Amino acid sequence: MKVNQLVYEINDINLENDELMLYETLFHNANGYIGIRSCFEEGYEKGYNTIRGTYINGFYDIVEMKQAEKLYGLIEEKQAMLNIADTQSIELKIDNESFSLFEGTTLRVRRFLDMEHGITGREVLWRSPSGKEVEIIIKRMTSFYQLSLFTIEYSIKAVNFDGKVELLSYHIGDVMNYSNPDDPRVANESLKHIIPVDVDCVNGASYIISNTLVSGLSVCTGVKHILSKECLEKMDLLVNTVTSSYTFDIAHNETVTLTKYSIFSDSIRHKDCKENAKAEMTKALEKTLTEHYSHQADYLKEYWKNTYLEIDGDEELSLAVRYNMYQLIQSVGKDEHSNIAAKGLSGEGYEGHYFWDTEMYIQPFFTLTEPGIAKNLIKYRYTTLEKARENAKLLGHKKGALYPWRTIMGSECSGYFPSGTAAYHINGDIAYSIITYYLATKDIDFIADYGAEIIFETARLWMDVGNFYNGQFRINEVTGPDEYTCMVNNNYYTNACAQFNLKWAVKFYDLLTESKKISHVVDKMNLSEIEIKDFEKASGCMYLPYDETLKINPQDDSFLEKKVWDFEHTPKEDYPLLLHYHPLCLYRHQVCKQADTVLAHFIFEDAQSLETIRNSFNYYEKVTTHDSSLSTCIFSIVASKLGLTHKAYDYFGDSAKLDLFNTHKNTKDGIHTANMGGNYMAIVYGFAGLRLKEDGLHFAPNLPLQWDGYRFKVNYEDSMIMVEVFKNKCIFTLISGTGKTFFVREKEYRLESSLIISQ
């Protein structure tokens, strides 16, 4: 591996199956709309496993999900992201010898991801079994400028021979999704969810229309080739596959390039996906590939300018952080029809479902760096609000909206309700993301148009699911973030979320009333002032569990009554525990899969004293396995708050390197997008101590001993601010916008141009 600020590359060859599947993920191409795993164009040796997938964000089919007991309201179908087509397959033959890294001799190889220019590629110097040497350079791009476009630039150079070359390029509509019956995080059965129904050739481009089996959706994929020299060209059209062949003579030292344009269009976004695909193909061909590359670089130049973050003194970690930030822009949906899947668009883990991960781990990154994208994420939740209302009714609630634990188009996709549907905190998470967006932008118009309705409907839900008891508002039979502790009374995190949600429902009502923007929301929702007063009352007397003996917040009412898990005698190979122990066994013990109460102490730090937060951190650290990728970044942030910088750094390193170094051994199924967002938060919210509060922007900077310094930019209201942290000083610079008042370790400062504060 070579370390460079914006380039990740490997220069050796490892043809082990697990390594190849890992690289399919690490070098995948995506732009928020389409994602293509980085498989060898020519394929692998027979018998090898592969996830040869191409995906559209938000495109799905309905899949049956059988329940052993057909009880009322249990989910019996789900949405699943589909592998829609294979347009990456290209076969090279030199005098009838097929190029393959499994045959002949590989003299030189390089595989790279260029995050400055937004391309991936392979460079191979290969000697065929008969001794012919050829240099192959392949570049792939999913365009941020034209989201429908995926390109492959396939160049071959004859090093020591003259001969005949044949390039066979495939457009395959007959595809299936990947499955692994041994891992609950991926589908347990492989089914054909999409059927090719029409194939056509228009102006030398092939188009395949495919329909889903159940959801009634259609997708059109288009492929067009351009070869850099005259050749014998042939196209064979079948109903599910198009094969394009190009035969030509190549001379010694001559280079020939095939450019393959692939277009993707779906019926969710376009009434006639074929007509749209044809229009998008025309648009793509109006520019040269060089021009497309230039647009890609321009887009990323702006992205890296807005998301600027650098670490001095640790190049390897810097690369991992940059890689994670790049994957976030690759993964995030760019319209209101999509969100961010748990694996982005890099694989089929969790079937392409959207979770609370978006609001609590990923959206904070975009809120501070690309607020326009944060708005789109909130708009997605707004477009699915009616489905959330339906979900609430299904679960017996008379009022309000309950967002699903996992979904694509808005309906619940969790088949195991104790650790899924019962995780009501999803409502509080979505409310929190809207509130923090407002605190960062003060965009009251957006709240009036989109956010307020969500805030009020989620507040209504808390009033229905909870109840007043002995002067306290309590919430029973829910599941918090920790999936090893389910169906409990008064989960601390959930109750804190509900309190914050209810409190801000009142605040937004007042803010919108003052700005004369409340009337259309009130009319649409039939919202009454009596409800607002009830929200205020429930928030004011919310029950937050506290143990006087341990001086901690118990995770829930019964957590401390349970036996502590026997960590000392649990073999390392038994982790993650969910793959080796029955859920009931886990539920009866004090063992946490991930941060739960500790997460609440980060998000709602003002709810408890520093002493309580410290005691809770120390307690839960001993019983948390971090089997979830959502965990170590949160422990890092809270460790930073407590001044445990060395411990915070260790947790941060585990988080940052999770995918690039495959520390959880499951990156082959796709990246861990939430962890990548959490990794950013561990720096900005953790080491720098950034908080968005009602009275303004707060910082409490720390510098890990391993670093010489770090710097980042944040958007706050109408301004962009550069923050630089060194051993003895912090520098704040106003890059654009108006001056700002902010706080550093609770001391107030005014920034007009540049400000230096001694550490």
Q: What is residue 645's three-state secondary structure?
A: helix
Site of tokens 């930019």: 713
pLDDT reading at 488 higher than 70: yes
Q: Are 41 and 89 in contact (CB under 8 A)?
A: yes
pLDDT reading at 2 higher than 50: no
Catalytic center residues: 483
Q: Quick one: how many helices (H) and strands (E) in the chain?
A: 20, 33
Nearest 5°: the CA angle 336, 340, 343 is 155
Domain boundaries, the chain: 2-278, 354-545, 688-759
For residue 655, the model assigns a pLDDT of: 86
Per-residue pLDDT tens digits for 592-637: 999 999 999 999 999 999 999 999 999 999 999 999 999 999 999 9
Q: For residue 145, count other CB atoms closer than 10 A to its CB.
A: 18
Helix or strand (DSSP H, E) at 338: none
For residue 58, the model assigns a pLDDT of: 97
Helix or strand (DSSP H, E) at 363: helix 363-369
| Distance of alpha carbon 457 from the chain centroid | 26
Rama region for 344: left / alpha / beta (φ>0; ψ in -120 to 50; rest): left
Site of tokens 């969710």: 268
191 pLDDT band, cuts 50/70/90, is confident
- The class (CATH top level) of 2-278 is mainly beta
For residue 184, the model assigns a pLDDT of: 57
Averaged pLDDT, 567-582: 96
pLDDT reading at 181 higher than 70: no
Per-residue pLDDT tens digits for 110-121: 999 999 999 999
pLDDT reading at 192 higher than 90: no
pTM comes to: 0.96
Positive or negative torsion for Cα 496, 502, 508, 514: negative
- Which one-letter amino acid corresponds to residue 455? I
42: nearest Cα among 128, 118, 113, 119: 128
For residue 1, the model assigns a pLDDT of: 39
Q: Where are the alpha helices (DSSP H) in 481-631?
A: 492-514, 519-525, 529-540, 583-587, 597-603, 610-621
pLDDT reading at 68 higher than 50: yes
Q: At what angle do helices 425-441 and 452-465 cross, to 10 degrees?
A: 150
Q: What percent of the chain has pLDDT over 70?
A: 98
Averaged pLDDT, 481-500: 98
pLDDT reading at 405 higher than 80: yes
- Which one-letter amino acid corresponds to residue 53? G
- The class (CATH top level) of 354-545 is mainly alpha
pLDDT reading at 428 higher than 60: yes
Per-residue pLDDT tens digits for 673-732: 999 999 999 999 999 999 999 999 999 999 999 999 999 999 999 999 999 999 999 999
Mean pLDDT of the chain: 96
Among 186-190, 229-233, 672-676, 705-709, which stretch is predicted with the lowest mean pLDDT?
A: 186-190
Enter the CATH code of domain 688-759: 2.60.420.10
For residue 182, the model assigns a pLDDT of: 63
CA distance linking residue 199 with residue 352, whole number of Å: 27
Averaged pLDDT, 103-131: 97
pLDDT reading at 3 higher than 50: no
